[in-house]
Structure 1
Amino acid sequence: PSLEYGEPELRLKPNDRALAEAGWSREQLSGIIRSLGNGNFVGEYFNGSKRFNVILRSDAWLTPEELQNVPLYTASNEILALGDLAEITRTAGPSQIRRLDRLRTLTLQVNLPDEIALEAGLDKLKSELTPMLTNMLPPGSMVNYRGTAESLTIALTSLTNSFLLAIIILYLLISAMFQSFKDSLLVITTIPMATVGGIAAIKLLENQQMDLLTMIGFVILLGLVVNNAILLVDRARKAQADGMDRDEAVKNAVLLRIRPILMSTLTSIFGMLPLLLVPGSGTELYRGLAAVIVGGMFLSTLFTLILLPSLLKLFTSDAVTVADLPDLELKNV
């Protein structure tokens, strides 16, 4: 509705003292006023097969003066005019009164320019427009953002929950594969570094926001970054089961797995570089997703090859038997 008061209206202000003397309350007066207007619902009538609403409605009036002089039979056995119980004034009001969750609502429609992302525009509105509106509105008022902004908030919240759920599922699956919660925890440590790499890549891009596709990129990144760590941890455990000590097993795992790790990482990174670097129509939609995967894979690979071997040495005992690795083949010596 329009914010301008351009529609004529009649405002009735109850006279509490006169109402008390007449034996009425404000609630009863409001029902009488509805009866003088479109009608007041008082009950239902059932004729045996159908139900009918019973509406109490007075004779039509044409002018505010006629409304003011309408006689009312009060609870104190008196006949008083409506003007004796309420003050009627001519004024102007809004063309419509809308309510949301039973609260009176005014709607402001904001259309962002094409060059401003939805999330950036929403942050700007919340930081600049919300305080200004809060100061203008009466105490107890609220400012909410709905429409596309609300859909974006719901989608980001849902993807965040999906991201956390995916981490839990990955941890449980890797634990079942390794039959070790400690080894699976070492693999999962690559995820925070990949997340940091993805966020850093987004920050390096100009005017790139955390939109829906970018959040999907973080979920995709989960399944990519753990593969390299799984290769390294699995090779180290098998080397220890073959009789190597801890340091030799970790060194052997790095030497044997560095080539497949680099191959899988480079194929993922170079596969995403066209989406990240090549300009064209529509590329801004996928640039955030590509940046997350490229930055996350790059940083997580450095972590896998440099820091993960150190963690394997710190949190791994020297005694690992063949029984600890049920997927190994037992051979007669």
Structure 2
Amino acid sequence: MVRTAIGGMRISETVEGLERYPINIRYPYDDRTSIEALRDLPMVTPSGAQIGLGDVAEITVTDGPGMIRSENARLNGWIYVDIAGRDLGGYVEEARRVVAEQVDLPPGYSVAWSGQFEFLERAEKRLGMIVPVTLLLIVVLLFMAFGRAVDVAVIVGTLPIALSGGFWLLWMLDFDLSVAVVVGFIALAGVAVETAIIMQVYLNLALDKRRKQAAAEGRPVTMDDVLDAVTEGALLRLRPKIMTVATIFAGLLPIMIGSGTGAEVMRRIAAPMVGGMATATLLTLFVIPAVFVLVNRIDAVRNPKTLSPTPGAMAHGHPAE
């Protein structure tokens, strides 16, 4: 009864030349427009009694899939999830774990995850190959520029101090890790390494100047000469560093407070730069000179002839080592 009166049953076909059209038979549209009409559809029992369809069947309306889809020759259904307040990668990782632990799939069923997080996964794979190669190239170029492993180690070893400011600002702004944030950190690392290189060059030039003076005077280079060289080199680098930081802040702060189209992405690129330049300034003006003094002090212990103390000498209030 349901198949013929409601759904329609094919009883024959009509032939019109080369065309074939099926012939279906079912009840008129007015007799099947509502649940009440379907329940009142007459039926005849084998004994000849007339009853309604609702007397032998439960007729209800239930929600089904809005659309039947298939992929890889298998029916599938989609569940859309909007993420707010956390990163996509972390949510998908946790959701996969929870579903695997708490959901028992019947035989023949499977779950696949798709969405914007796939862009992040592909970017992470690329960055996983690109970042080590880039760091290796930076180390090679630094070694070619300075020719000393100590100078390269000072710059690379102190780089995390410059990056820490970017992480602090991301934490304060409650920004999650994304491809845009990684791009901002790459730009920050480039600027921080550049300023650290210039500071290291200024310090080396100032120390070479002190060494030439000591050689002309016929005396060994002392720790006082190193301290004088650090003071001179750092002061020569002070104004260019302040100008660099002021320029970067002036260019990026409008992006941080902007709210137009694309501002969400640009803010996540600019945030590591803004926060990192604050600590990069401390790195260039304080950490690099301090490490420079420490390295030369260690070198003086290993090679006393290179940096030998002058008894009773004083330079800018620093006692001789």
1:120 is matched with which residue? 87
TM-score, with normalisation over the residues of structure 1? 0.58
SS at match of 2:177: coil
Q: Kindly indicate whether residue 149 of structure 2 is the aligned counterpart of residue 181 of structure 1.
A: yes
Kept in 2: contact 1:195–1:296 (CA 8 A): yes
Q: Kindly indicate whether residue 204 of structure 2 is the aligned counterpart of residue 237 of structure 1.
A: yes
Report the Cα distance in structure 2 between the residues aligned to 1:246 and 1:143, rounded to whole angstroms. Answer: 66
- Name the Cα RMSD after superposition: 3.1
Q: 2:238 aligns with which of 258, 264, 282?
A: 258
| Cα distance change, pair 278–172 in 1 and its aligned pair in 2 (3 A) | same
Q: 1:226 aligns with which of 184, 189, 193?
A: 193
Q: 2:180 aligns with which of 213, 223, 226?
A: 213
Kept in 2: contact 1:202–1:209 (CA 8 A): yes
Residue identity matched to 1:137: D
Kept in 2: contact 1:190–1:304 (CA 8 A): no
Kept in 1: contact 2:87–2:176 (CA 8 A): yes
Report the Cα distance in structure 1 between the residues aligned to 2:128 and 2:273, rounded to whole angstroms. Answer: 17
Residue identity matched to 2:98: P
Note the alpha carbon deviations across 1:162-198, whole angstroms, 9 max, x for none. 2332222111111100111110121123421222221
TM-score, with normalisation over the residues of structure 2? 0.60
SS at match of 1:272: helix
Kept in 1: contact 2:69–2:77 (CA 8 A): no
SS at match of 1:242: helix
Kept in 2: contact 1:130–1:143 (CA 8 A): no
Report the Cα distance in structure 2 between the residues aligned to 1:258 and 1:202, rounded to whole angstroms. Answer: 27
Report the Cα distance in structure 1 between the residues aligned to 2:197 and 2:92, rounded to whole angstroms. Answer: 45
Report the Cα distance in structure 2 between the residues aligned to 1:201 and 1:216, rounded to whole angstroms. Answer: 15
Q: Unmatched 5+ residue regions in structure 1?
A: 1-93, 321-333
The answer to which of 104-113 and 224-233 deviates more is: 104-113
1:35 is matched with which residue? none
1:298 is matched with which residue? 278
SS at match of 1:273: helix
**Cα offset for 1:307?**
1.6
Kept in 2: contact 1:112–1:121 (CA 8 A): no
Kept in 1: contact 2:199–2:234 (CA 8 A): yes
**Cα offset for 1:201?**
1.2
**Cα offset for 1:133?**
4.7
Q: Kindly indicate whether residue 266 of structure 2 is the aligned counterpart of residue 286 of structure 1.
A: yes
Kept in 1: contact 2:69–2:75 (CA 8 A): no
Report the Cα distance in structure 2 between the residues aligned to 1:257 and 1:176, rounded to whole angstroms. Answer: 22
| Cα distance change, pair 137–298 in 1 and its aligned pair in 2 (3 A) | same
Kept in 1: contact 2:180–2:269 (CA 8 A): yes
Residue identity matched to 1:306: F
SS at match of 1:177: helix
Residue correspondences, number = 220
Q: Kindly indicate whether residue 145 of structure 2 is the aligned counterpart of residue 157 of structure 1.
A: no
Aligned residues: percent identity?
Answer: 25
Kept in 1: contact 2:88–2:117 (CA 8 A): no
Q: Kindly indicate whether residue 137 of structure 2 is the aligned counterpart of residue 169 of structure 1.
A: yes
Report the Cα distance in structure 1 between the residues aligned to 2:141 and 2:199, rounded to whole angstroms. Answer: 17
Residue identity matched to 1:261: K
1:110 is matched with which residue? 80
Q: Kindly indicate whether residue 180 of structure 2 is the aligned counterpart of residue 200 of structure 1.
A: no
